[in-house]
Structure 1
Amino acid sequence: MIIRLVMLAELVAITAALTLPESLQSLGLASFILATAAFVVAIFPSSASLGLAKLLRPYLVVVLAAPALWMALQAVPMPVDTLGNPIWATASAALNEPLAEMITVDIGATMLSLAQYCAVLAAAFVTAVITLDRYRAAQVLHLLLSVTTIATAMWFGKEARAVAGPDGSTVAVLGVLLACATAIRAADQLRRHRRPGIVAPTPLPALSAAIIAMIVCMTALLIRTDSAAVIAALLGSGILVSVFSIRRWYLGLWGTAGVLATAAILFIAGATVIPFRTNTDVTIALSTSSQIATERMLQDVRPAGSGAGASTVLLPLYGDVDIGAPRERSTAAAAIVIDMGWAFLCGLVVIAMLGACILFRRSLSRGYDYVYPALGAGASIALPILAFAEHGILGLGASLLVAALFGLAFGQSVPGVGREALTVESKEASDWMAGPVPASRPRLASALVTIWPRVALMVLGIVLIMQTMWMVLPTWYLAGQSSLSAAVSAAAAWPNGISKPVSVAAARGDFRIHGESLPRGEPALAADEQKTELPAASSSLVRSLRSSPLHGDIWLMLAASKQNSSQSSTAAMLKMSYYTAPNDLDLLPLRLSVALATDAVVRELEFRDLIKRDVSLVVTRGSAIRSALVTAYRSASSEGKIYLESLISELDPTYLDNMRAPRSRQGSR
């Protein structure tokens, strides 16, 4: 009963992650559910400890812990300045206060990525423990097939222009693999069912469900995705079919070599079908969508990366202003390189290939339940192809689904682990009934072997609970704050570092400061209100920048608050706003007002080019915010007015009279 509740909880977590939009709330919900499942698995079933201890070999523990340690290291101040990102030194000079240099450019984004990775580990561990039993493994396989089929059908049913979940194609590919595995298992059951003297449940319902799921997922892939996703699904399924062929016809060494050679030829042939983009980075060569900003980021990537999750924060800085265009999404491989560095991506590819080989070998050594490790081997081939073609594999729902699939594959990859665990459990129960016995070193060593997986699950559950509180509580606290000043003041009460609600929310776009601070349609009123509210909140804004200096809206607010006190400070912060948010049209009204009202800014040649670019954007592309020029003209200094008039006369001479009209009417009055 307890295991069934854990299975239901994990199913709810994956379903919620697939159906809800990615946000702090969805990640917090998934973390809480998985934390509860980890606690239950660690406390109640004693047989799970031995089974998990046999699965978690030392090298596997190191491999799984390395990404988490690297993410944590990215958010730690570097002892040597050259190791940190240069943006921290630039921000320190603009704020005129020392800032610790770190590898990451956004602490909140990195800690959110670490939180998601912990949730993925919990999903994998819990699934591995549950599926030590072969009957539970079959139930988990059928549940995952149902979830992927329904999610793919919902994704396929959306309109083509709608963004129906960025991880839809990844889920569809996994659905094809799960359907293939279910069909192979049903075929084996059907063959066993026909043998005389063997009574087994009929596999026809499972086979029918697998066929329906295969049709739904393949139809979605053929219609809604590109050839890379289709080839990935076919190659992953080819691994399953290869294992089935070897096991079905009892092929020997040469037969196995022939099947593997055929699979290799098909793999190479499939790779040639995928359209590769030439003269571009290899991480975006398979992508069919626009990757202009991503290619620019890849040219500036550092060996240690820019911090986990930083690619999403950096993307607006490298993009162009294109009103109405769909938002660019980097491929998963490109995002990993930008966030973690080239060495990390190469390590992941090597580990994926080694994992495919290990699971393929274990599937050949299994007896009846060989389909589960073969499923993991197929996924290890398909997912790297998807990573180089699109972004979906890094989504919360897709990553949890992948974790559950690999937990199922590894949970059933070692023969006899479940039976050995149950035998040890029965022996422990009989020893307890017989009474106490003298302690011995072998018994102590055995206890240590069986207890450390429990401790690991408990620690992981505690980490998940802590990160859930870190994500959800600040959001609830700020939910009632309606004004910018109130929200920023609330953030000031939190400790410095990763726990700032404003910084954390800004990393994922859940709490857009400039979305509230610059209402659309009334740029003049917004600019006037900002100048009155900002001085009181400037200290809170500075605290937000200590978590991430890439928020151009916050730099602009600080520049506006310092406008009447120090022109040099205003210029430094305004320059940071230009460099960290060059293409944010919502910031143009206030930014032009502050820039043209500061003589030190207008006189500098670099600022003149930046102001000219903003004015050109307003005149040529931002007809809805042209009134911002009138507001900027009214508040501009004498030098600022002269420079703005010269720019308008070059770009749109007819608008110059409209801009001067309010001033002339005021003079006549």
Structure 2
Amino acid sequence: MIIRLVMLAELVAIAAALVMPENLRSWVFVAFVLATASMIVAIFPPVAALGLARLLRPGLVVVLATPAFLMALQAVPMPIGTLGNPIWATASTALNEPLAEIITVDTGATMFSLAQYCAVLAAALVTAVITLDRIRAAQVLHLLLSLTTIATALWFTKETTGAAGPDGSTLVVLGVLVSAATAIRAVDQLRRHRRPGTIVSAPLPALFAAIITMIVCVAALLIRANLAAVVAALLGSGLLLSVFAIRRWFLGLWGTAGVLAAAMIIFIATLTVIPLRTNTDPTIALSTSSQTATERMLQDVGPAGSGAGASTVLLPIYRDAGVSASRERPTAAAAIVIDMGWVFLCGVLICAVLGAGVLIWRSLSRAHDYIYPALGAAASIALMILAFADHGVLGLGASLSAAVLFGLAFGQSGPGAGRDALSLEAKEAPDRAADPVPASYPKFASALVTAWPRVTLMVLGITLIMQALWMVFPEWYLGGQSSSKIVSTATAWPNGISKPASIAAAREDLWIRGGSKPGANSASSADEQEATAPPVPSNTLARALRSSPLRGDIWLMLAAASKPSSPQPGTAAMLKMSYYTAPNDLDLLPLRVSVALATDAVVREPEFRDLIKRDVNLVVTHRPALRPALVSAYRSASADGRTYLESLISEQDPSYLDQVRARNFRQGSR
């Protein structure tokens, strides 16, 4: 009963990740569900049921914990002049307070990425424990089959309306592989004679379901997915068929070598079919979408990366002005390089290749149920190809689905896995055949080894609970505050200032955001909005900058808080940070031009004059809808600011300068 509840919890978590948008509530829900599942599996099953100790060796635990350790290390203060990102020194000067240099440019983004990795790891380990029983393994495989079918159908429906998420092609490829594995397993069962006392599930319903899933996924793959996804699905399915052929007809060393050599030749030949983008970074060579901003980010990446999750935060800064950030998403490989560095990506690829090799070897050495480790190897190959083509592998729903698949593969890859009728929740007596510790071992060593999986799952569950509380605490805090103390960023300042499109910045934004963002009104007067807006505490805004100095909207709000008649010493520095951290955010442009032109010290500085000129030229020549904002900036500008604005407008459109003066005169006479 307990294991059924755990399986249901995993299914609910993955379904929620696939259906719900990736926001704070969905992350918290998934974290709590998987944390509960980890704690249940760690506490209730008997020691004998935790045969995962044969797979979860200390060395493997170290490998799995390394990414989490590196992510946490990115948020730890670094010695001056080492790997710390220079943005923190610049922000420290602008805020006039000491800030420790750290690797990541956004601690909130890194913490959210760490939470996602812990959730993925928990899903994989819990699945591995559950699927030590072959009956449970078959049930998990069928659940994955149903889940990928429904997810593919939903993705295809959303794709036709243009509202599909980034992880659709990954789920479709996983659906093709799961359906192929289910079909092969069903065919094996049909051809194999039943042994006395062996429990074998009915293969025909599973075969029909696999055929239906294959039809749905292949149709979606050919109609909507890119060529790289098609090749990934073909190669993964080819690997499954190769293992099936070796098991059925090519037993022996030479037969196995021949089939694997043929598969390798087909693999290399198939890769040549994918159109590669030449003269570009290898991590985006398979992408068919525009990757202009991604290329710029890759050129500036450091050896330790910019912090986990930083690619999403940096994308609005590197994209062209006026281009929606949703039109470009870095590939998964490029995002890993930007976030963690090239060395980390190479390590991931090496581990994926070695893991695929181990799974293939274990699949060929098993007596029965060889299709599970073969499925894991096929998924490793397919996901590596997809990582260089799109971003879907890093999506929450796709990553959790892949984690369950790999947990199933490793759970059924051990020499003692796959025994008939092993009930994890009912078998209380120790099974010496499944005991990973020899009888000659001391009792302390035996207890330590058998308790190792329990401790790992317990620590992982506690970590997820703490991360969920860390994410949900700001929302509870805001729920207990009045709207007069914590106000919306959009309503507090002109023109509905927006934050960079990053889910990772959600936690910091919760401290300053108490309502929904209204639509921007570029034609409204900045003075009128500022007069009716309640003040935002500067210490509240500075708190967000201490964890994410790339918040150009907050830098602008702090600069605007200084009165033009008596500007603060750091006003120019904060305004400059706004220009450099949000150069292409059109929502900030009206207020930024108004603040810059209202301060004589800013207008007289050559660097600011170039920045102001860029914004004004962008409005006059490319964004006519924002032209009314120049009238508001002209009204609030200082004498030098008006003169400079008139010269800029006259260079681009002299006729519009007359309109600006006329509108200013009419508004001033009212």
Corresponding residue of 1:447: 447
Q: Secondary structure at the match of 1:273?
A: coil
Distance in 1 separating the partners of 2:181 and 2:267: 19
AA aligned to 1:633 is Y
Instruction: Note the C-alpha offset of 1:505.
Output: 4.0
**Conserved? CA contact 2:478–2:511, under 8 Å:** no
Which is worse superposed, 514-523 or 305-314? Answer: 514-523
Distance in 1 separating the partners of 2:9 and 2:667: 68
Corresponding residue of 2:641: 640
Distance in 2 separating the partners of 1:503 and 1:425: 39
Corresponding residue of 1:556: 556
Corresponding residue of 2:581: 580
Distance in 2 separating the partners of 1:567 and 1:628: 25
- The 1:275–1:395 alpha-carbon spacing in structure 2 relative to 1, beyond 3 Å, is same
Corresponding residue of 2:114: 114
Instruction: Note the C-alpha offset of 1:473.
Output: 3.0
AA aligned to 1:521 is N
AA aligned to 1:332 is A
Corresponding residue of 2:495: none
- The 1:233–1:119 alpha-carbon spacing in structure 2 relative to 1, beyond 3 Å, is same
Distance in 2 separating the partners of 1:474 and 1:468: 11
Which is worse superposed, 312-321 or 42-51? Answer: 42-51
**Conserved? CA contact 1:85–1:105, under 8 Å:** yes
Corresponding residue of 1:590: 591
- The 1:484–1:552 alpha-carbon spacing in structure 2 relative to 1, beyond 3 Å, is farther
Corresponding residue of 1:140: 140
Corresponding residue of 1:436: none
- The 1:183–1:646 alpha-carbon spacing in structure 2 relative to 1, beyond 3 Å, is same
1:274-313 residue pairs with structure 2 within 5 A?
274-313=274-313
Distance in 1 separating the partners of 2:34 and 2:122: 6
Gaps in structure 2 of 5+ consecutive residues: 432-438, 490-501
Output one character per residue of 1:455-475: Cα deviation in whole Å (capped at 9) or x when no partner.
221111111111111112323
Root mean square deviation, CA, Å: 2.9
**Conserved? CA contact 1:106–1:547, under 8 Å:** yes
1:236 maps to 2:229: no
Q: Secondary structure at the match of 2:383?
A: helix
- The 1:286–1:510 alpha-carbon spacing in structure 2 relative to 1, beyond 3 Å, is farther
- The 1:52–1:528 alpha-carbon spacing in structure 2 relative to 1, beyond 3 Å, is farther
Distance in 1 separating the partners of 2:42 and 2:303: 39
Which is worse superposed, 80-89 or 262-271? Answer: 80-89
1:303-382 residue pairs with structure 2 within 5 A?
303-323=303-323, 326-382=326-382
AA aligned to 1:160 is T
Gaps in structure 1 of 5+ consecutive residues: 432-438, 490-501
Output one character per residue of 1:134-173: Cα deviation in whole Å (capped at 9) or x when no partner.
0000000000011011100111122435131210000000
Per the normalisation by structure 2, the TM-score is 0.91
Corresponding residue of 2:493: none
Which is worse superposed, 656-665 or 165-174? Answer: 656-665
1:1-20 residue pairs with structure 2 within 5 A?
1-20=1-20
Corresponding residue of 2:547: 547
Output one character per residue of 1:199-255: Cα deviation in whole Å (capped at 9) or x when no partner.
854311111111111111111111111110000011011111111000011421111
Which is worse superposed, 329-338 or 39-48? Answer: 39-48
- The 1:638–1:264 alpha-carbon spacing in structure 2 relative to 1, beyond 3 Å, is same
Q: Secondary structure at the match of 2:413?
A: coil
- The 1:657–1:300 alpha-carbon spacing in structure 2 relative to 1, beyond 3 Å, is same
1:600 maps to 2:601: yes
Q: Secondary structure at the match of 2:79?
A: coil
- The 1:323–1:309 alpha-carbon spacing in structure 2 relative to 1, beyond 3 Å, is closer
Which is worse superposed, 550-559 or 440-449? Answer: 440-449
Distance in 2 separating the partners of 1:352 and 1:423: 31
- The 1:153–1:263 alpha-carbon spacing in structure 2 relative to 1, beyond 3 Å, is same
Distance in 2 separating the partners of 1:487 and 1:61: 45
Q: Secondary structure at the match of 2:22?
A: coil
AA aligned to 1:570 is T
**Conserved? CA contact 1:556–1:591, under 8 Å:** yes
Corresponding residue of 1:495: none
AA aligned to 2:238 is G
1:126-525 residue pairs with structure 2 within 5 A?
126-160=126-160, 162-193=162-193, 200-323=200-323, 326-417=326-417, 419=419, 429=429, 442-478=442-478, 486-487=486-487, 505-506=505-506, 519-521=519-521, 524-525=524-525
- The 1:479–1:278 alpha-carbon spacing in structure 2 relative to 1, beyond 3 Å, is farther
In the alignment of these two chains, the number of paired residues is: 650
Which is worse superposed, 386-395 or 158-167? Answer: 158-167
Instruction: Note the C-alpha offset of 1:568.
Output: 3.9
- The 1:668–1:403 alpha-carbon spacing in structure 2 relative to 1, beyond 3 Å, is closer
Instruction: Note the C-alpha offset of 1:521.
Output: 1.6
Q: Secondary structure at the match of 1:288?
A: coil
- The 1:135–1:119 alpha-carbon spacing in structure 2 relative to 1, beyond 3 Å, is same
AA aligned to 2:183 is A
Distance in 1 separating the partners of 2:180 and 2:659: 68
Instruction: Note the C-alpha offset of 1:374.
Output: 0.3
Corresponding residue of 2:77: 77
Distance in 1 separating the partners of 2:186 and 2:166: 32
**Conserved? CA contact 1:593–1:633, under 8 Å:** yes
Corresponding residue of 1:619: 620
Output one character per residue of 1:434-481: Cα deviation in whole Å (capped at 9) or x when no partner.
xxxxx9972332222111211221111111111111112323443687
**Conserved? CA contact 1:374–1:409, under 8 Å:** yes
Corresponding residue of 1:656: 657
Which is worse superposed, 503-512 or 214-223? Answer: 503-512
Which is worse superposed, 618-627 or 178-187? Answer: 618-627
**Conserved? CA contact 1:41–1:48, under 8 Å:** no
